[in-house]
Each structure stands twice: as structure tokens, then as C-alpha cells.
Structure 1
Amino acid sequence: MTTTTPAVKPKGRLLEPKLLLGILGVLVLLGFSLFTGVYDIFGTDDGTAMFAITRIPRTIALVLAGAAMAMSGLVMQLLTQNRFVEPTTTGTTEWAGLGLLTVLIINPEASLLAKMTVAIIFAFIGTMVFFLFLQRVSLKASLTVPIVGIMLGAVVGAFSSFIALQTDMLQSLGIWFAGSFTSVIRGQYEVLWIVAIVAIAIFIVADRFTVAGLGEEIATNVGLNYRQVMLLGTGLIAIATGVVTVVIGNLPFLGLIVPNIVSMFRGDDLRSNLPWVCLLGIAITTVCDLIGRTIIMPFEVPVSLILGVLGAVVFITLLLRQRKLG
């Protein structure tokens, strides 16, 4: 695989005034999320109850899903040494969707935990298939890597669509993949807290991921168990992707947009960048969700649609920038 490593900027402090301003800005956006919606939470008798049942869970889901997918993209880019990969450009999301479809065909009454577990297993398998492919095939251009991932994802997605068509679940499959926070309510989002554990784990082993991102030879020479770290990274990515896919659906390009924007301004130190990646992931997800809620109110546009448009623009911009830099 091809390494596309920009100039590494000095390592930044973990806590700094700019980060505090970023946290304040995200809190303002989350405040808008809490008080944006069709239902009048102030002028009705059950407004307080609806606020607790729908608005608060939705806002928490925005935080957890946005941070998880952004961090997954960052880890995946480090492990593959490529800035154009993330769960939706490597087929990980499609594999998670296939797992969800499989468990629903076998057991339509399966619990949310069962769906999530199978989705995580399939996401892990799919990510490992992608990583193994990259290890066995020498790719000369950095752009080739995500193209291969998109092709593998397309094959898995086509297989899922065929199975869904044969089992009269094609419409349901489309609904699952349309990433949206509309159905997030109290009692149906709590499993998303698992990704908070994933975020903590990534922060703890951030330095190992950074070293692994230098390549197997260098990582082994400094005493790092490269394959163990790769398995750990793959597992964390699979958990985050599987959980978010089951609860929310597909959030395209989020893991591509956020790490690249952060690295442009702060360099490539994973540990000091993680808080910024989390904040920017939350901010972009929240802004896209707010746009989706208000653009055709009282109806909603799935957040995946807005993210897809934004992600496509950023992806093209990154390609042009890469071409300009040679």
C-alpha cells in the first residue's frame, strides 16, 4: 500500500485554550439540537416528557455516533497509511449491514443486542478482508486503496440487495442504510454508549496506533506487536461501525472528512488530535442533522444524504489537493 504522509507538525498540547473554545462551540450546537423540532415542548402539557424521551436521546446519539465514526476513520487511516479510507470507503459499513440483514432473516424477533453482535462480527470480518487484501497486493497510488474498498463494498452491498430482494426485505434494507436520527428515542439508543468505551480504548492505545501507522517493519523494530495492534484496531473499528449501523444507519464520509481537516491544521499526532477529531465529528453530524430537520420542516431529510453531499465535495477537494502536491 502507498504511504501518503504529509509534513508532521509539532505535537500539540492535549488541553489548550482553542480546545476549550471548540468545546463551547459544540455545546452551543447541541443546545440548538435540543430545542429544534416540530413538536412544541413548551406549549403542551407533555412537552417535558417528550423532551426527555426524544430530544435528549437524539442529542446524545449525535454526540456518540459522530465521535465514534470520526475516530474510526482516523484509526483506519493510520493503520492503512492512507488518507482516503474510512468505514464507508472500505466496505466495513456494507459488511455490518449484511450482518444485520442476516440476523433478521434467521431470527426476525432478534433483540437489539443480537443484531448489534452479528453486525460487529461481520464488520470485523469485512475489515480484515480489506486489510489482508492490502497486505497481499502492492498498490502504487493512494487513490487506488479506497477505490478497491468501494468496489469490495459494492460487491457486498449488491449481495445484500439480492438477498433482501429474495426475502422481500429490500425496502427495509434501504431504510436501515439511510442514516437518520429520527427514530432515536429513549429505550432504543442506549447501546450507543458502547462506542464511548471504544473511544476511551482508542485514546489509551493511541501511541501504539501511531507507531503501527509507520509500517510493520518500523513498528516491529521498536518492539511493537504489529499484528496484535492491527487486530485491536480492526476490532475497535468493527465495534463502532456495527453499533452505529444498527442504531443509526450509514453515516457516509464522516470518518474521511474529519481526520483530514484536523490533520491539515494540527499534523498527525493521534493522541493530541483525538479531542479535535471527536469535537469536529460531533459538530459536523449535528449541523447536518439540524439542516435535515429544518430544510423541509415538518418533514426530515436523512442526515446521511447531507453528509454524502458534503463528503463528496470534501473528497474531491482532497483529490485535487493530492494531485497538486504530487
Structure 2
Amino acid sequence: MSYALTLVALMALSLISVRIGAASLDLSGLAGDGEAWRLVLVSRLPRTFACLLTGAAMAIAGVIMQLLVRNRFVEPGTTGTTEAAMLGLLMVTLIAPAMPIIGKMAVSAFAALAGTGVFMALIRRLPPEQPLLVPLVGLIYSGIIGAGATFVAYQADMLQYLGVWMSGEFSGILAGRYELLWLAGLMAGVAYVAADLFSIAGLGRAASVSLGLKYRQVVALGLMTISMVTALVTVTVGMVPFVGLVVPNIVARIMGDNLRASLPVVAGMGAGLVLASDIIGRSVRHPYEIPAGTVFGAAGAVIFLRLLLGRPARA
């Protein structure tokens, strides 16, 4: 039933997304209007696909991060992964501005992987009976990397670029400018194939090894998936906070911790919420826009506080 509801909601939101925009569009008159078809194919559909792919991929990256860290309060945006990807993108833009976008994405992904690796090393020293220390350390670590990126951008007169990468907005998405996000969708598919392995890895190193899991290889796959997704999203649309934090927690409360069963719903809910945020951002001040990252950041903070304060007693 959850799968059907998720699919219906995504279809409805997609129709709304294609319908609204600065230019008026009548879906009933598409058949004989070449200019309307061009608007749909060049702008509206790519933007809708970009929102769906971003939300689904970031939600899946979040649930993988939570399993590997064994903490429900983390996501790429609170562990330094996103900030490291942004810093890598900033440095490669300064050093090699003419590098193709795929090369910049690769450098950004490598920086995200390195940043995540440092975070994983930091939390090994934390006492396991204090789970709230993990996101606290992650936020401090993210803040340090973000401050470093801001300093470099200020010195190089690139604060405007940094602002774009931090805003998480889809107004510049057109055909030919979002296709890298399909790679993020592919990485999400890889995560679904390896869902059972990630579930076992979430039990911890000792339990995983005793069950015959190649723990290091699975963790490496998870970190690569998280880093690739984060870099692709950062390069294409910028930061969209709280997607990987809020969505997995909501779905876990509804469906439990069976990752194989819940992962499609995690992806669908992440896609739907990001698309809904983009629709709201386009509608509130029409024909002007509020970035989807701003809308979701505000709503996501409230939702997460509600989830945190309303945690069940067994948690």
C-alpha cells in the first residue's frame, strides 16, 4: 500500500510541477502547440526529473550514512560530506576552471569521500552510550569545513559561487544541464541492490564479520555511494539540507528497519518532498522563486525537531 501511495503522490506532484512556472502552460492544449512542447521538454520536465532524482538520491545517501555510522541523527549535510564536496568543487574551480564538469564532479566526490573518512575516524573515539555526541561532532566538523570554504571563496572573490552551491535551487535546470543527476539515480539503484549488505553492516563490525560479511568492502561501497551522490547533487543544484535526515526517520517509524522493503519508499518520499518544496518555492512569490533548499531546510528543521522531541520510549 505504501508503494502505491508513494507512486500516486509522485505522479500528482510531477503533473503540478510541469504545469506551474513563470510562463503559463495549458496541458490540455499541448497536442497542437509546438512552443508549449518545447517549454515542457527543455525546461519543465528536466526540472521535475532533477527534483525527483535529487530527493531520491539524497534520501538514500542519508539512510546509508545512518546505517554505517549506526546513528539516526546524521546525514551527509551533518557529517562534513556536503561541505567537503563543496570545498573540493571550489578548489578545482580555482585551480582548473576549464576542467570539464565531469572532472570537477570527480574531484568533488574525492573530497567528499576524504571528508567522510575523517568524520568516521573522529566518531570512533566517541562513547557509544552518548549517541547525540555524533551529530554534535558532525555539526562542528561541518562548520569548520564550511568556514574554510567561505574563507577561500572570500579571498578569491567567489562568494557568489559559494552562495549558489549552498542554496539548493532548480531555477537554472534545463535540458543538457542536469543529466549528471541520472548518475546519482544509478548510485541509488546500486544501493538498493546492496540493501541487505548495508543492513547487516548496520549491526556493527563484530556482528557483521561473524555473519560472514566483508565489512570493509561494504563500508567502502557505502562511502563511495554517499560521496558520489553528494558531489553530483552539489555540482548540479547545490545543497538541499535535511533530506537524508528527515526522510529515513519518518519511513523507519512507519515501516521499521527492513531496508530492502523500505528503500523504495525512502526514495519516493525524498523525491516527493523535494519536488513539493520546489513547487512551493515557485508558487509563494510567483513569478519569483524561493530556492527549494530554503523551503525544505525550514520545514525539515521543524519536522526533525518534532521527531526528536517525540521519540518513542523504546528508542
Which TM-score applies when normalising by structure 1? 0.92
The C-alpha deviation readout for 1:61-85, integer Å capped at 9, x for no partner, is 1111110000001111111111110
C-alpha separation between the residues in 1 aligned to 2:21 and 2:167? 20
Which range is displaced more, 101-110 or 68-77? Answer: 101-110
Cα drift, residue 46 of structure 1: 2.6
Counterpart Cα distance in 2 of 1:198 and 1:22: 21
1:91 aligned onto 2:44 = no
1:173-212 deviations in Å (ceiling 9; x for gaps): 1111110011110111111110121111111111110000
- Structure 1 residues 123-167: Cα deviation after superposition (integer angstroms, max 9, x where no partner): 111111111212233343222111111111100000001000110
Q: Which residue of 2 aligns with 1:188?
A: 177
- In the alignment, residue 94 of structure 1 is paired with which amino acid? E
Q: Distance in 1 between matches of 2:145 and 2:98?
A: 24
Structure 2 counterpart of 1:78: 67
**Structure 1 residue 27 and structure 2 residue 11: aligned?**
yes
| Residues 281-292 of structure 1: pairs in structure 2 closer than 5 A | 281-292=270-281
Letter in 2 for 1:167: A
Query: Are the equivalent residues in 1 in contact too, given 2:13–2:275 (CA < 8 A)?
Result: yes
Aligned-pair identity (%): 41
Aligned to 1:316: 305
Q: Is the 8 A contact 2:126 2:133 kept in 1?
A: no
Q: Which residue of 1 aligns with 2:20?
A: 36
Q: What is the CA distance between 1:324 and its match in structure 2?
A: 5.6
Provide, for residues 250-278 of structure 1, a one-character-per-residue CA deviation record: whole Å limited to 9, x for no partner.
Answer: 01000011000000011001110011001
Q: Counterparts of 1:235 and 1:140 in 2: how far apart (Å)?
A: 28
- Whether contact under 8 Å (1:116, 1:242) holds in the other structure is yes
**Which residue is 2:38 aligned to?**
49
The gaps in structure 2 that reach 5 residues or longer are: none
Aligned partner of 2:247 in structure 1 is: 258
Measure the CA separation in 1 of the matches of 2:174 and 2:242: 25
In structure 2, the partner of 1:107 is 96
The letter of the residue matching 1:76 is: M
Give the superposition deviation at 1:18.
Answer: 3.4
Say whether the 8 Å CA contact 2:2–2:265 is kept in structure 1.
no
CA distance in 2 between counterparts of 1:85 and 1:236 reads 16
- What is the alpha-carbon distance in structure 2 between the residues aligned to residue 144 and residue 201 of structure 1? 30
SS of the residue aligned with 2:238?
A: coil
Shift in Å, 1:19: 1.2
CA distance in 1, matches of 2:177, 2:5: 32
Tell me which residue corresponds to 2:263.
274
Q: Given the alignment of the two structures, is residue 245 of structure 1 paired with residue 229 of structure 2, yes or no?
A: no
User: Partner of 2:199 in structure 1?
Assistant: 210
CA distance, structure 2, for counterparts of residue 153 and residue 285 of structure 1: 22
SS across alignment from 1:186? coil
The equivalent of 1:61 in structure 2 is: 50
Counterpart of 1:13?
Answer: none
SS of the residue corresponding to residue 224 of structure 2 reads helix
Check 1:217–1:105 CA distance in 2 against 1; reply closer, same or farther (3 A cut): same
Q: In the aligned structure 1, how far is the partner of 2:144 from the partner of 2:14?
A: 37
CA distance in 1, matches of 2:251, 2:313: 20
Unaligned runs of 5+ in 1: 1-16
SS in 2 for 1:88: helix
Residue 117 of structure 1 aligns with which residue? 106
Question: Which segment drifts farther, 211-220 or 311-320?
Answer: 311-320
What residue identity is the alignment partner of 1:22?
Answer: T
Q: Distance in 2 between matches of 1:287 and 1:21?
A: 15
